[in-house]
Chains A and B, each alone.
Chain A
Amino acid sequence: MTGSTTQAPGRTRGSLVRSKRVLPGFGLSLGISLLFISLVLLLPLTGLVAEASGMSWSQFWFVISDPRVVASYKVTLWTALAASLFNGVFGLLLAWCLVRYEFPGKRLIDAMVDLPFALPTAVAGITLATLLSRDGWYGQWLDTLGINLAYTPAGIVIAMAFTSLPFVVRTVQPVLEEMPPEDEEAAITLGASDGRVFRKVIFPTLWPALVTGVALSFTRSLGEFGAVIFIAGNTPYVSEVTSLMIFIRLQEYDYAAASAIAAMVLLVSLSLLFAITLWQGRYLRRLLGR
């Protein structure tokens, strides 16, 4: 026994023995999870891959590089970026005030943050369009200032920002709550001004969560359709989003093309999320030493 074991440390035997788990339910929970993930998440994705892989590479390229589609990428990317950045700022502000201050209506606002999650996107879209249209509650107001938001890319940004706001607040909030006061206090006793403490001590700690929140908000915005479509104006090359392009391909019975574009979006979203997970892993390892 000993002869062979000095040869092969841990690895093979280790993995064998490790399958003996202490807590119960490994098999069951693994079974349920794998079954569910395969059936619900992965199996349908095969449809996408199958459709898209039915095309030749040049067809694929033709579909995804169609100038109008390319324009929609640009519109979508820019508006999603603007929306997620807006959420980065507004979400951070909200999370900050909800964690740091007591003020009347705090619990109400805290509860309302999840509203965009709970409200159907189409309802959100209709509501925002109604608010911002020329004679809507906000629109008439903005109109006197000569500002028009509905049916412009700005409208898209607003719809995207609305539907993805909770992602930022809900990822930043717990980190802010857990942040020990000592770090700040240490910085203040060292003579640092508030601004400096925020920039140098608080923000770097929030940063990973904020980036995750913004990234989730961004990917969600990339795929947003229901809320956007009512307020976008959908002018070609100006305010058409990629989801609409997918929708159009579907209207044309061109599943392959729709799948190809959808696959593009999915690829971008997943690689973004994955890249952030990797980056965050490294950043956090430095911070936490894990």
Chain B
Amino acid sequence: AERQLLNSSYDIARELFAAYNEQFKEYWLEKTGDTVTIDQSHAGSSKQAQAIIQGLKADVVTFNQVTDINILHERGQLIPEDWAERLPNNSSPYYSTMAYLVRKGNPKNIENWDDLVREDVELVMPNPKTSGNGRYTYLAALGYAQETFGDDQEKTDQFLADLLGRVKVFDSGGRGATTTFIERGIGDALLTFESEVLNIADRYPGEYEVVTPKISFLAEFPVTWIDEYVEQNGTEDLAKGYLTHLYSEEAQRLLAGFNYRVHDGVVKAEFSDRFPEVTLLPVSEIAGSWENAMETHFASGGKLDQLQRRR
């Protein structure tokens, strides 16, 4: 039979899911004999979440921010509260971390977070207010600062304020920041997902170098199906199948090929030279929880706003 599925995803995952969809279609055909048409919707994941709340009838979401899935429960009652428990690894089949892209030969000699606050360094990163990507970078830096300065709140704040002060361009999204860094030649380091950084390095061999700091943030890429809509669309099995298959070795290899870190042991080993071992701090260690992180740091008037206040 002909079946249809709508995957609502974050903006830069288009090629990834285009590839995965092919893989999945074959798998599903073999398994059930059904042909599947998979529609892809890509935009900033907050915008996607809003669209779903306002009635965009996506069957599954594959986001890059946990909060954007949480909101589907909070605002829309479209999924249960414990959605993260429904699939392994907090429902995130792959993850990444934050890394730096620096220009060839690393002229500013940037190795770790403390190098980024040097006077002579200019940074490019996405806006933490508008993109999860930016938020993760912020949290990664926060994690580093907490590790380094312990309980000294003032120093931590100072460090973060300095870091934000070094940013030349805050693009509204990850790809914008990349374009700014690559195409416009702005900045000494681009702070973004490791996956993105590796992609670029692959794309422009020899022109850039990748620096992964020793301490960084565990950026999970959560997925779930939208209970309300799969019910309406009659696609529950398909949606679940689509997401579960992400955990298969075959899919994990595909994901790793797109420079995402994965959980599957076999694949992990295969790609071990690409993903150096670093300390990845989850949100719970840095800010307690996502709710807490959003509230204290990113809400209007929160820590981020205070730090960015003009001095």
Q: A residues touching B (Cβ–Cβ < 8 Å)? A: 63, 66-68, 71, 129-130, 133-136, 139, 150-151, 229-230, 233-238, 244, 247-254, 257
Question: Cβ of A248: which chain B residues have Cβ within 8 Å of it?
Answer: 127, 129-130
Q: Are B47 and A234 in contact (CB under 8 A)?
A: no
Residue contact B50 to A253, C-beta cutoff 8 Å = yes
Bound Cα distance A173, B298 (Å): 49
12 extra interface residue pairs, beta carbon distance < 8 Å, beyond A68-B308, A136-B184, A252-B129: A66-B300, A134-B185, A150-B184, A151-B169, A234-B170, A235-B169, A236-B308, A238-B310, A248-B127, A248-B130, A250-B47, A252-B299
A247 touches B130 (CB 8 A): yes
Q: Tell me which residues across on chain B come within 8 A of A249, comparing CB atoms.
A: 300
Residues A247 and B172 in contact in the complex (CB < 8 Å), given A68-B305, A71-B310, A257-B300: yes
State whether the Cβ of B176 lies closer than 8 Å to any Cβ in chain A: yes
Query: Given contacts A230-B176, A233-B168, A244-B172, is CB(A250)–CB(B50) below 8 Å?
Result: yes
Name the interface residues of B139-195: CB closer than 8 Å to any CB of A: 164, 167-172, 176, 180, 183-186
CB distance from A214 to the nearest CB of B (A): 29
Q: Tell whether, in the assembled complex, residue A133 and residue B184 are in contact, meaning their CB atoms are under 8 Å apart.
A: yes
**Closest chain A residue, CB of each to CB of B176:** A230
In angstroms, how far is the closest chain B Cβ from the Cβ of A159?
A: 14
Instruction: Give the distance to chain B from A28, nearest Cβ to Cβ, in Å.
Output: 35
Q: Closest CB of chain A to B234's CB: distance in Å?
A: 29
Cβ A129 vs Cβ B184 within 8 A: yes
Which listed residue, A151, A237, A257, touches B308 by the CB 8 Å rule? Answer: A237
Docked pose: A70 CA to B286 CA in angstroms:
31
B301 contacts which chain A residues (CB < 8 A)?
66
Is A133's CB under 8 angstroms from B183's CB? yes
Whether B282 sits at the interface, judged by CB under 8 Å, is no
Are the CB atoms of A135 and B185 closer together than 8 Å? Answer: yes
Give chain B residues whose Cβ lies under 8 Å from the Cβ of A130: 183
Is B31 part of the contact surface with A, judged by Cβ < 8 Å? no
Q: Which residues of A contact B185 (CB under 8 A)?
A: 133-135
Q: Across the interface, do A253 and B169 meet the contact criterion of CB distance under 8 Å?
A: no
13 contacts between A and B (CB under 8 A): A68-B309, A233-B169, A233-B170, A235-B169, A236-B164, A237-B308, A248-B129, A251-B44, A252-B46, A252-B299, A253-B49, A253-B71, A257-B300
A251 x B130 contact (CB < 8 A): yes
Given contact pairs A63-B300, A250-B50, A251-B130, A234 touches B183 in the complex (Cβ within 8 A): no
Q: Which residues of A contact B75 (CB under 8 A)?
A: 253
How distant is B104 from chain A, measured CB to nearest CB, in Å? 15
Which B residue's beta carbon lies closest to that of A68?
B305
Which of A236, A244, A250 neighbours the largest number of chain B CB atoms within 10 Å of its CB?
A236
Cβ contact within 8 Å between A235 and B47: no
Q: B53-93: which have CB < 8 Å to A?
A: 71, 75
**Chain B residues near A134 (CB, 8 Å)?**
184-186
Q: Do A151 and B50 form a contact, CB below 8 Å, given A66-B300, A257-B300?
A: no
CA distance A71 to B71 in the complex (A): 29
Question: Are B169 and A251 interface neighbours, CB within 8 A?
Answer: no
Contact of A67 among B49, B168, B183, B309 (CB under 8 A): B309
Using CB atoms, name the residue of chain A closest to B173.
A229
Query: Which residues from B are CB-within-8-Å of A135?
Result: 184-185
Choose among B75, B171, B184, B309 the residue with the greatest number of A CB atoms under 10 Å from its CB.
Answer: B184
In the complex, how many angstroms separate the beta carbon of A265 from the nearest chain B beta carbon? 17
Q: Are A234 and B169 in contact (CB under 8 A)?
A: yes
Which 3 pairs between the two chains have the least Cβ-Cβ distance?
A133-B184, A251-B46, A234-B170
Complex CA–CA separation, A68 to B305 (angstroms) = 8
